[in-house]
Amino acid sequence: MLELLQQPWPWYIAGPMIGLIVPVLLLLGSKTFGVSSNLRHVCAACMPGKIEFFRYNWKEKGLWNLIFISGTVIGGFLAGWVFNNPEPIDLSQQTVKELQFLGISDFTGMMPNELFSWESLSTVNGLIVMVIGGFFVGFGARYAGGCTSGHAITGISNLQLASLLAVIGFFIGGLFITHVIFPLIL
């Protein structure tokens, strides 16, 4: 049992489990699965200012979702701390080779330490991946009206053309960074 909780799970176990969250939230209380709305709820709760977009009853609309995301943090703690898998991720050798060529050497955790650490916050690349990257995640998700959970999973499974367009956008942006920007800056 302990081993099962510690070792990584294959895609065909994890994927369907994630997919089940969609009907579970609908059945629990007609809630639509979508994580990035929480970023808007935080703005509405803490700093709405005079901005129309943040002037709504965030407790009524979003309290369940903020609690959901708190649960996600606890789940991360349990799976990534208490039942942590000590082995490095079994990555494609091609990806490892290409990233090593770009100067990435730390493959021990969930992300390379040379880019994601408090020390690297004072480097240009650290600022780009963490600060600018985070900004685009928030700005882009709201502009597109959803992120991976809201569009790629919920929207596409509900046959929404809008979500297909958004996911095409996700890949245009992601491929551009991976194949054009990373070779230039890393």
Judged by CB under 8 A, the chain residues 85 through 104 that form the site for another protein are: 85, 89, 91-92, 94-95, 98-99
CA dist., res. 168 & res. 50, Å (int):
33
Distances (CA, A) of 142 to 51, 87, 139, 175, 178: 14, 36, 6, 20, 22
Q: Identity (one letter) of the amino acid at 117?
A: S
Shortest gap between Cβ of 103 and another protein (angstroms)? 13
Would you say 2 or 172 has its CB closer to another protein?
172
Of residues 26 through 55, those in contact with another protein by CB under 8 A are: 26-32, 35-36, 38-40, 42-43, 47, 51-54
Q: Does 129 bind another protein (CB under 8 A)?
A: yes
Q: Does 58 bind another protein (CB under 8 A)?
A: no
Q: Does 116 bind another protein (CB under 8 A)?
A: yes
